A and B are shown apart, each in its own frame.
Chain A
Amino acid sequence: MSQYVLRRLLIAVPSLLAISLVLFVVLALAPGDPFSELATNPNVPPEVQAALRAKFGLDDPIYLRYLHWLNAMLHGDWGFSFVSRMNVDTLILQRLPATLYVIGSAQILALLIAIPVGVYAATRPYSLFDQIANTLAFVGFSLPTFFTGILFILIFSVTLDWLPFVYTTDIKATGIRWVLEMIRQAIMPVAVLGLFQAASMTRFVRSAMLDVIRLDYVTTARAKGLGQTTVIIKHVMRNAMIPVVTLIALQMPAVFGGAIVTEQIFRIPGIGSLLISSILSNDTPVVMAVTFVFACLVVLFNLIADVLYGWLDPRISLR
């Protein structure tokens, strides 16, 4: 087992290197300049821009810049933001709590909806409940988050005036009021994201359950006289969860990566909004760090998913 994990980690190294190289080259070749805003300002002479470029090493050849970056990354230095003039890791760590809270809650909400609904729908296929769940799921994942987000704002903020639509990181309250405020402001973004995720996940859970529920061992379990609940939970669900675990594990990096569109709409200072504003202002060190961390998380969670398989289904042996 530990050998397996070690081997997988070693295999990950070259793939991460390749990913970083591709990311770096693409970003270096992309058009744009972090100091372009200075160019239209008649007060700022072009020499300033040139001096800044030189100072941040933007005039070096690409391979040199890549090696510098790689070397720094190996030493735990994530780079220095051109735009904010601070260390990228501080910048990312500042954004992490909001992302984890909002996107994490949304994922949990999605799971809490998707698993019971999917399981129940699969036990009664083509029943009225199944039909309704299916229809709602279709509607749910056909509506993009930027649409539902704005719709929610119009209904709950503008018309009804119940919920705030600008997310505040530090609410000036303590104790229970702070908790309530945190929940209140997260309701809309969590609902928008959670329902969207839940919609596709419900369909997935349902079909995974249906695949398993028809197998012979389930009939055997029923023939033994086990109750419906025990059969579904102990026998069907455990096996049906294997593909669902893969899906969830691959969603986990997204929890850290944030949700670009939703974060922008609700002004949540998460990783997603950091990524998009950095892309727009050509702040390459930040874009590089965020995307690279994202790549690492994908590799890591893939590994975790594989390890979980072994636990869910002892027949899958890890060697």
Chain B
Amino acid sequence: MLDKELRSMIGQVKDGRMDRRAFVKRLAAVGLTAPLANQLLALGGVAMAQSPAVYKPTKRGGGGPLKVLWWQGPTLLNPHFATGTKDQDGSRLFYEPLASWDADGNLNPILAAEIPSLANGGLAADAKSVVWKIKPGVKWHDGKPLTADDFVFTWQYASDPATAAVTISTYGEITVEKVSDLSIRILFKTPTPFWANAFVGAYGCVLPKHLFADYKGSKSREAPNNLAPVGTGPYKFVEFKPGDVVRGELNPDYHMPNRPHFDTIEMKGGGDAVSAARAVIQTGEFDFAWNMQVEDDVLLRLEKGGKGKTVYATGGDIEFIAINFTDPNVEIDGERSSMKTKHPIFSDPNVRKALALLVDRDSVKKAIYGRAGRTTANYLNGPEKFVSKNTSWEFNVEKASKMLDDAGWKVGADGIREKDGKKFKLLYQTSTNGPRQKTQAIVKQACQKAGIDVELKSVVASVFFSSDVANPDTYPKFYADIEEFQIPMTQPDPALHMRRYISANVATKENKWQGQNFPRYVNKEYDDAIAAAETETDPVKRAALYIKCNDLLWQDTVFIPVMHRLLVDACSNTLRPALSGWANRTDNLQDWYREA
């Protein structure tokens, strides 16, 4: 039904009987909006809205210096080697992709002349190829023209395993061919509904062929331009000191009119988030500080009468408690949490549901995340068209206690529940991090009231998130009953985010715990839904499939979502940054300006 209605609405937009804004609003009402709603229109044959960026400056330059503070400074400036967003952010001052994601999850053309759509012939009807037209007249910082060859080369460079580029998954599965000097065709092996991945956003930066051609493959690390980028971006490279500072100056030949606004840019690294917030909000030494992972109380205090404020961007980052479906305490063939075991307590779905009732998300939001979080029942929280409206959550100790009673877990003499002589004891692990450990404390308190004994454990982040096969404390090994951390959603599409939990991805000793399905969740229905979604070209059906996957995770209580986290930055009162929860902070840097 929804399907039919949507089709007629797309038709109306096409004919101009309904405007785009109304369409997006209608979709929001049924729980389907933002980035993919626009991709949906694109597939429906309507050109994507060119995001109406409000950009006021009327001439290039004249904005003075822009000073930004990244408390983890970039350590390298080749976007294809970026180990974290800090490196992508630094590289992005100089390199550019074909398009970036704006705040609503729309594609914003950067090096592309236009966004591909069915109407302009860019998208193939079978979703197996896409043609991008490149903006004419774009020049590299050294004066050479940008052509299709650069894109083909970037694909060859990144997809070569010997290069060891982190972008290999984006470029490994596709073929890029030159159509003309100013257009390329990307070919997919299978129908790919989410076509805007290669050459888009953080992983999409194109490299100059004339400077990197000799450094493809195993020689990649010797390229002198790894440290001295030559791109097409709004700023030209001046200086780079790893971990300390990146400096750039206005590119007088930049391909967008009146941009950039600032004459120079300085990205300073180091220090910690609180003092970064101080430098922006209190003393005004800097204009912008990235990633304020600071308690909201502290930020509110700093903001009183300050020179700056905090700014928020909504993406899909989810902080959650994951439940172990296998037994972490039994060792089989040298492997704990083995697939050959079942968790002694959590194999009963009602017990998992009861545990979810014990997570007081409101208190967590109030006490810890404040403005930087939203409570949610969903694992998948965006873009909005993928967000399920079928789920709900509550905090109810009595109800949980009753469910546990019914499941046969009776309160023993010491106040702790037991069943068949086994105590209800849980080991709850997370990475060492203030907010996470406070959340642990809040959950533990509620569990104690319900007669569950919780032992808390925190592991240093560098160990917890490492892939060290020899270390028992990593999150993929999951040698605990429940664990908490955050998985960021790096693009406005759920494909990668949801694919993790198919049964083929279970983390085991056999795959050196590199499987991404760390809760060791196995559900045939889920696997089928993901497989279907990955080849489904009808955007509505596809969205429905991902919503179904989310609902399965919720029904089976694989995750207890704690907080849908927003991106928080500090920003001077006069700076107007262009931020998006679906992109890195510097992805729309060309649109930043200062209000006079």
Residues of B268-282 whose CB lies within 8 A of A: 268-272, 275, 278-279, 282
When the two chains form their complex, are residues A46 and B271 in contact, meaning their CB atoms are under 8 A apart? no
When the two chains form their complex, are residues B164 and A170 in contact, meaning their CB atoms are under 8 A apart? no
State A122–B18 Cα separation when bound (angstroms).
90
When the two chains form their complex, are residues A31 and B271 in contact, meaning their CB atoms are under 8 A apart? no
A43-B468 contact given A52-B164, A83-B75, A269-B245, CB 8 Å threshold: no
A39-B268 contact given A85-B78, A85-B221, A158-B283, CB 8 Å threshold: no
When the two chains form their complex, are residues B83 and A35 in contact, meaning their CB atoms are under 8 A apart? yes
Residues of B207-245 whose CB lies within 8 A of A: 218, 221, 226-227, 239, 241-245
- When distances are taken between beta carbons in the complex, the residues of chain B under 8 Å from A81 are 75, 242
State A136–B268 Cα separation when bound (angstroms).
36
A-B contact count (CB 8 A): 165
- When distances are taken between beta carbons in the complex, the residues of chain A under 8 Å from B203 are 43
A46-B467 contact given A91-B242, A158-B283, A165-B283, CB 8 Å threshold: yes
When the two chains form their complex, are residues B247 and A170 in contact, meaning their CB atoms are under 8 A apart? yes
When the two chains form their complex, are residues A55 and B467 in contact, meaning their CB atoms are under 8 A apart? no
State A32–B497 Cα separation when bound (angstroms).
25
Residues of A19-66 whose CB lies within 8 A of B: 31-33, 35-52, 55
State A193–B463 Cα separation when bound (angstroms).
32
- When distances are taken between beta carbons in the complex, the residues of chain A under 8 Å from B465 are 36-37, 39-40
- When distances are taken between beta carbons in the complex, the residues of chain A under 8 Å from B467 are 33, 35-36, 39, 46, 49
Instruction: For the complex formed, measure the closest distance between the CB of B435 and the CB atoms of chain A, giving whole angstroms.
Output: 17
Selecting from B116-124, B166-174, B292-300, B554-562, the interface stretch reads: B166-174
Partner of B268, one of A45, A50, A168: A168
Q: Does B131 interact with chain A (Cβ within 8 Å)?
A: no
Partner of A41, one of B239, B285, B490: B490
Partner of B164, one of A43, A51, A83, A169: A51
Residues of B139-176 whose CB lies within 8 A of A: 161, 164-166, 168-170
- When distances are taken between beta carbons in the complex, the residues of chain B under 8 Å from A105 are none
When the two chains form their complex, are residues B514 and A46 in contact, meaning their CB atoms are under 8 A apart? yes
Q: Does B433 interact with chain A (Cβ within 8 Å)?
A: no
Residues of B506-522 whose CB lies within 8 A of A: 511-512, 514, 516
State A166–B221 Cα separation when bound (angstroms).
32
When the two chains form their complex, are residues A153 and B169 in contact, meaning their CB atoms are under 8 A apart? no
When the two chains form their complex, are residues A265 and B242 in contact, meaning their CB atoms are under 8 A apart? no
Partner of A44, one of B169, B218, B241: B169
Partner of B170, one of A32, A43, A169: A43
Q: Does B487 interact with chain A (Cβ within 8 Å)?
A: yes
Partner of B466, one of A36, A86, A165: A36
Q: Does B286 interact with chain A (Cβ within 8 Å)?
A: yes
- When distances are taken between beta carbons in the complex, the residues of chain A under 8 Å from B392 are none
Contact with A along B371-412 (1 / 0, CB 8 A): 000000000000000000000000000000000000000000
Selecting from A108-116, A231-239, A272-280, the interface stretch reads: A272-280
When the two chains form their complex, are residues A165 and B471 in contact, meaning their CB atoms are under 8 A apart? no
- When distances are taken between beta carbons in the complex, the residues of chain B under 8 Å from A158 are 278, 282-283
Q: Does A164 interact with chain B (Cβ within 8 Å)?
A: yes
How many of B's residues come within 8 Å of A, CB to CB?
Answer: 66
Residues of B249-279 whose CB lies within 8 A of A: 264, 266, 268-272, 275, 278-279
State A64–B490 Cα separation when bound (angstroms).
38
Instruction: For the complex formed, measure the closest distance between the CB of A280 and the CB atoms of chain B, giving whole angstroms.
Output: 6
Contact with B along A135-160 (1 / 0, CB 8 A): 00000000000000000010001100
When the two chains form their complex, are residues B83 and A37 in contact, meaning their CB atoms are under 8 A apart? yes
When the two chains form their complex, are residues A55 and B270 in contact, meaning their CB atoms are under 8 A apart? no
In chain A, what residue has the closest Cβ to B486? Answer: A40
State A51–B485 Cα separation when bound (angstroms).
26
Contact with B along A157-185 (1 / 0, CB 8 A): 11001001110111010000000000000
State A265–B276 Cα separation when bound (angstroms).
10
When the two chains form their complex, are residues B500 and A31 in contact, meaning their CB atoms are under 8 A apart? no
Contact with A along B72-98 (1 / 0, CB 8 A): 100110100101100000000000000
When the two chains form their complex, are residues B243 and A84 in contact, meaning their CB atoms are under 8 A apart? yes
When the two chains form their complex, are residues B169 and A43 in contact, meaning their CB atoms are under 8 A apart? yes
In chain A, what residue has the closest Cβ to B278? Answer: A158
Q: Does A219 interact with chain B (Cβ within 8 Å)?
A: no
Instruction: For the complex formed, measure the closest distance between the CB of A34 and the CB atoms of chain B, giving whole angstroms.
Output: 8
Partner of B81, one of A39, A47, A85, A170: A85
When the two chains form their complex, are residues A165 and B275 in contact, meaning their CB atoms are under 8 A apart? yes
Instruction: For the complex formed, measure the closest distance between the CB of A150 and the CB atoms of chain B, giving whole angstroms.
Output: 8
When the two chains form their complex, are residues B285 and A37 in contact, meaning their CB atoms are under 8 A apart? no
Partner of A31, one of B170, B239, B462, B491: B462
A31-B466 contact given A42-B490, A45-B169, CB 8 Å threshold: yes
Q: Does B496 interact with chain A (Cβ within 8 Å)?
A: yes
Q: Does B48 interact with chain A (Cβ within 8 Å)?
A: no
- When distances are taken between beta carbons in the complex, the residues of chain B under 8 Å from A274 are 243
When the two chains form their complex, are residues B283 and A31 in contact, meaning their CB atoms are under 8 A apart? no
When the two chains form their complex, are residues B466 and A33 in contact, meaning their CB atoms are under 8 A apart? yes
Q: Does A220 interact with chain B (Cβ within 8 Å)?
A: no
- When distances are taken between beta carbons in the complex, the residues of chain A under 8 Å from B169 are 43-45, 48
Contact with B along A76-87 (1 / 0, CB 8 A): 000011011110
When the two chains form their complex, are residues A42 and B244 in contact, meaning their CB atoms are under 8 A apart? no
- When distances are taken between beta carbons in the complex, the residues of chain B under 8 Å from A51 are 161, 164
When the two chains form their complex, are residues B243 and A265 in contact, meaning their CB atoms are under 8 A apart? no
When the two chains form their complex, are residues A32 and B245 in contact, meaning their CB atoms are under 8 A apart? no
Instruction: For the complex formed, measure the closest distance between the CB of A284 and the CB atoms of chain B, giving whole angstroms.
Output: 12
When the two chains form their complex, are residues A84 and B466 in contact, meaning their CB atoms are under 8 A apart? no
State A81–B476 Cα separation when bound (angstroms).
27
When the two chains form their complex, are residues B466 and A153 in contact, meaning their CB atoms are under 8 A apart? no
When the two chains form their complex, are residues A85 and B275 in contact, meaning their CB atoms are under 8 A apart? no
Instruction: For the complex formed, measure the closest distance between the CB of B267 and the CB atoms of chain A, giving whole angstroms.
Output: 12
Partner of B500, one of A42, A84, A153: A42
- When distances are taken between beta carbons in the complex, the residues of chain B under 8 Å from A31 are 460, 462-463, 466, 468, 471, 473
Instruction: For the complex formed, measure the closest distance between the CB of A74 and the CB atoms of chain B, giving whole angstroms.
Output: 22
- When distances are taken between beta carbons in the complex, the residues of chain A under 8 Å from B242 are 81, 83-84, 86, 91, 94
Q: Does A282 interact with chain B (Cβ within 8 Å)?
A: yes
Instruction: For the complex formed, measure the closest distance between the CB of A235 and the CB atoms of chain B, giving whole angstroms.
Output: 49
Q: Does B69 interact with chain A (Cβ within 8 Å)?
A: yes
State A277–B247 Cα separation when bound (angstroms).
20
Partner of B166, one of A32, A44, A267: A44
State A42–B516 Cα separation when bound (angstroms).
8
Instruction: For the complex formed, measure the closest distance between the CB of A119 and the CB atoms of chain B, giving whole angstroms.
Output: 38
When the two chains form their complex, are residues B83 and A264 in contact, meaning their CB atoms are under 8 A apart? no
When the two chains form their complex, are residues B83 and A32 in contact, meaning their CB atoms are under 8 A apart? no
- When distances are taken between beta carbons in the complex, the residues of chain B under 8 Å from A153 are 275, 278
When the two chains form their complex, are residues B471 and A48 in contact, meaning their CB atoms are under 8 A apart? no
Instruction: For the complex formed, measure the closest distance between the CB of A278 and the CB atoms of chain B, giving whole angstroms.
Output: 8
Contact with A along B509-549 (1 / 0, CB 8 A): 00110101000000000000000000000000000000000
Given A32-B463, A81-B242, A277-B72, 12 more A-B residue pairs with CB atoms under 8 Å apart are: A32-B468, A36-B468, A40-B487, A41-B490, A43-B203, A48-B169, A83-B83, A86-B76, A166-B268, A267-B269, A267-B271, A267-B275
Of the A-B pairs whose beta carbons lie under 8 Å apart in the complex, a sample of 23, sorted by A's number, is A35-B467, A40-B488, A43-B166, A43-B203, A43-B490, A43-B496, A44-B166, A45-B168, A46-B467, A46-B511, A46-B516, A48-B164, A52-B164, A83-B242, A84-B242, A85-B227, A95-B244, A164-B285, A166-B271, A169-B244, A264-B272, A267-B275, A269-B245
Question: 3 tightest CB-CB pairs across the interface, nearest first?
Answer: A46-B514, A269-B244, A36-B466
